[in-house]
Amino acid sequence: MSEPYTKKQIVEMRKKHIGPSCKVFFAKDPIKIVCAKGQYMFDEKGERYLDCINNVAHVGHSHPEVTKAAMKQLELLNTNSRFLHDNLVRYAERLALCLPEKLSVCYFVNSGSEANDLALRLARQYTGHHDVITLDNAYHGHLTSLIDISPYKFLQLGKEGKKEYVHVAPSPDIYRGKYREDHPDPATAYAKEVDDIIKKAHKNNRKIAAFIAESMQSCGGQVIPPIGYFQKVSEFVHKAGGVFIADEVQVGFGRVGKHFWAFQLQGEGFVPDIVTMGKPIGNGHPMSCVVTTKEIAEAFGATGMEYFNTFGGNPVSCAIGLAVLDIIEKEDLRGNATRVGNYLVDLLNEQKQKHPLIGDVRGFGLFVGVDLVKDRTLRTPATAEAQHIIYKLKEKRILLSADGPYRNVLKFKPPMCFSMEDAKMVVKEIDDLLTALEEVTEIQSDADVDENNKKKRKEPTEQEESSSNKKGNVNRQRNGVDTESQKVSIKRHRT
Ligand SMILES: Cc1ncc(COP(=O)(O)O)c(C=O)c1O
C-alpha cells in the first residue's frame, strides 16, 4: 500500500487534476474523511465527526448488511438488465409495494439527475407537450435539462439563465414566501399561482408537459408545502394536459418518519404521476429510480425506441436496494426518524424561545430546518450568522450545513440512525454559539444606541464563504409552521 496523502497534498492534486468548479466543504480547512460508521465519520487522525447532513448514508454509513449484500452479489455477477435476473424484478416489486398502487412501473438509473431527466422525457412523450413548471429556489440536478429547470442554479447565470419553456412558480414557503402562515388558505393561494402560470402559458401558445417539485424543498430552504397544495396543483396541471412529478431524491425512503414518501404528507388522496428517487436508495451506491404509471410507461414505450441504461438496475445495485429496504424495516428507522425528529424539533423550539436569532423551526422526521433571522419581525435572513455557526460546529466535530436562497437555514438531514443523544449534543452546541453571537450584538447595541441602526451586526470572519444566491430583504411576519406533534410550550429565557 502506498503512503496516504496529506491534506495539503490532496488539495494540491485536486487543483491540478479536478475541475475547479468541484468544491469541497469548509474550503479554508477541508476535512479528510477516511472511514465512517452509522452517523459518525472519522478523519485521518481518528477524530470523530457527527454527521447531521448526509441523507445518502440513509441507514447509516458503511452498514454491514449493505456491504454484505453488495459483496455477495459482486462475487457472483454484475451485468446489465438485458439478461433476466431475479434482483431487478424482486426490487421493482418491493419498491412498488412501498408506493400507491398506480405507481407500479420502474426505470432504474444511476443518479438523481438521471432520474429527473428521464422523468421529463416520460412527461413529454406522454403529454406531447414540452414546457415545465418548476418552483422558485428548486434544484433538480446537474444535467443540462435540469439546470434549465433549477432556479437555484440558473439564476446564478442572471435572468437570461431562464429558458422560454420554463415557468417558475413561487415556492410554497409559508414562512418567507408570498403567502404566509397568517394567510387563510396558503395552499389554494400558491396553487392559484400555478394556475395563473398555466393560463399565461396557454395565451402564449405554450403547453405544459409537467409540474415538478420536491415533496419538501431541500436546497430551497427546508420548505414544507401547505397541505392540499399538491392536490390543487395536480388538478390544474392535469387539466392543462400535464403531469405531476414528485422529486423524492432528497426526502424519500421514510425520512419523514410517518410516511415512506414525503408527498404522502399531503394526504392519502394525493398521488403524483411520476416519482423520482436517488441518494438514500442505495445508501451511497450510485443507483436511482423513476416510478410511474402503466399509462405513462406505455406511451413512452409506444415510440418503439428502446430505453437502455448500461448500469441502471444491475444485480449489485438491486441487491443493495433490497438490503436498504430490509434495514429500514428491521431497524425501525422510520420510527426512529419520528421519535428523534420530534425530540430534535422540541429541543430546537426551546432554543427558539431563548434565542431571537431563531426565526422558525420546521420539519418532519429527520428533515428539519432552522431559519435564522437578524430580526424576527422583518425576518431578515441571518446568513453570516448561519455560516458562522456551521464553521464553529465543524470545530466541535459536528457537520451541519446552511442552505436556502439566503443560506441562512440550518439544515438537518442526518443518517436515519441519528440518536436522541446526538440531537441533544448538537442543540447544546448551537445554544452556546447563539448565546455568544447574541452577546456580541447586545454589547454593540448597549455601547452606542444612537449608532445602532446605522451599524451592521458584527460579522463573523467566515462571512466571505456565505454568498447567497439571492439578494435583498423581504418583508417578514410571524410564523408557525410547526405540526401538532412538534409543538412545545416552554417559558422564554433571555440570555
Ligand atoms: C432534489 C434533488 N433532485 C435531484 C438531485 C440530483 O441528484 P444527483 O446529484 O444524484 O444527480 C439532487 C442532488 O442534490 C437533489 O437535491
Which CATH number fits the domain that encloses residue 420?
Answer: 3.90.1150.10
* pLDDT tens, position by position, 457-481: 333 333 333 333 333 322 222 222 2
Its pTM stands at 0.90
| Window from 151-165, 207-221, 340-354, 427-441 with minimum mean pLDDT | 151-165
Which CATH number fits the domain that encloses residue 115?
Answer: 3.40.640.10
Name the residue among 146, 164, 131 with its Cα closest to residue 247. 146
d(C-alpha 316, C-alpha 212), whole Å:
30
Q: Is residue 345 domain-resident?
A: yes
Region 326-352: mean pLDDT is: 98
For residues 322 and 90, the answer to whether their CB atoms sit within 8 Å is yes
Local structure of residue 384 (DSSP, 8 states)? H
Q: How confident is the model at residue 328 (pLDDT cuts 50, 70, 90)?
A: very high
Considering the chain, what is the average pLDDT of its residues? 90
Ligand 1 centroid to residue 214 C-alpha, Å = 10
Neighbouring-strand partners of residue 214: 247
What residue's CA is closest to ligand 1, atom 14? 141
Q: Which residue has the cell 445554544?
A: 431
220 and 72 assigned to the same domain: yes
In the three-class reduction of DSSP (H, G, I as helix; E, B as strand; rest coil), residue 210 is classed as strand
* pLDDT tens, position by position, 64-120: 999 999 999 999 999 999 999 999 999 999 999 999 999 999 999 999 999 999 999
d(C-alpha 315, C-alpha 88), whole Å:
6
| Window from 94-108, 438-452, 477-491 with minimum mean pLDDT | 477-491
Ligand 1 atom index nearest CA of 288: 10
Q: Tell me the percentage of the chain whose pLDDT exceeds 90.
A: 86
Quote the pLDDT of residue 442: 63
Q: How confident is the model at residue 452 (pLDDT cuts 50, 70, 90)?
A: very low
Region 143-172: mean pLDDT is: 93
Angle at which helix 315-330 crosses helix 64-76, to 10 degrees, equals 160
Phi, psi of 398 (to 5 degrees): -125, 130
Quote the pLDDT of residue 110: 98
- The DSSP-derived string for 230-293 is HHHHHHHHHHTT-EEEEE-TTT-TTTTSSSSSGGGGG-TT---SEEEE-GGGGTTSS-EEEEE-
Residues lining ligand 1, Cβ inside 6 A: 111-113, 116, 139-142, 214, 218-219, 247, 249-250, 278
291 and 434 assigned to the same domain: no
Q: Is residue 324 domain-resident?
A: yes
Ligand 1 centroid to residue 263 C-alpha, Å = 17
324 and 380 assigned to the same domain: no
Ligand 1 centroid to residue 141 C-alpha, Å = 5
118 and 155 assigned to the same domain: yes
Among 113, 146, 289, which is best to mutate for testing ligand 1, by the most ligand atoms less than 8 A from CB?
113
What residue's CA is closest to ligand 1, atom 3? 140
36 and 71 assigned to the same domain: no
- Structural domain span for residue 419: 7-59+333-486
Region 324-336: mean pLDDT is: 98
Q: Is residue 495 domain-resident?
A: no
Among 222, 249, 274, 367, which is best to mutate for testing ligand 1, by the most ligand atoms less than 8 A from CB?
249
d(C-alpha 445, C-alpha 473), whole Å:
21
Ligand 1 centroid to residue 112 C-alpha, Å = 5
Q: Is residue 2 domain-resident?
A: no
Region 252-264: mean pLDDT is: 98
- Among candidate residues 302, 330, 358, the one where a domain is terminated: 330
- Among candidate residues 330, 345, 364, the one where a domain is terminated: 330
Ligand 1 atom index nearest CA of 219: 16
Q: Is residue 302 domain-resident?
A: yes
325 and 337 assigned to the same domain: no
What residue's CA is closest to ligand 1, atom 8? 112
53 and 72 assigned to the same domain: no
Q: Which residue has the cell 431562464?
A: 162
31 and 71 assigned to the same domain: no
Q: Is residue 492 domain-resident?
A: no
260 and 122 assigned to the same domain: yes
Which distant-in-sequence residues (6+ apart) come within 8 Å of 88 by Cβ?
81, 108, 313, 315, 318
Ligand 1 centroid to residue 339 C-alpha, Å = 27
Q: Is residue 1 domain-resident?
A: no
255 and 195 assigned to the same domain: yes
Q: Is residue 151 domain-resident?
A: yes
Inter-CA distances, 364 with 268, 345, 406, Å? 17, 9, 22
Ligand 1 centroid to residue 62 C-alpha, Å = 21
Start-to-end CA span in the chain (Å): 54
Ligand 1 atom index nearest CA of 113: 11
Ligand 1 centroid to residue 149 C-alpha, Å = 12
25 and 82 assigned to the same domain: no
CA 42, distance to chain mean position in Å, is 24
d(C-alpha 56, C-alpha 263), whole Å:
19
309 and 421 assigned to the same domain: no
Q: Which H or E run includes 362?
A: strand 358-364
- Among candidate residues 330, 345, 380, the one where a domain is terminated: 330
Q: How many domains is the chain partitioned into structurally? A: 2
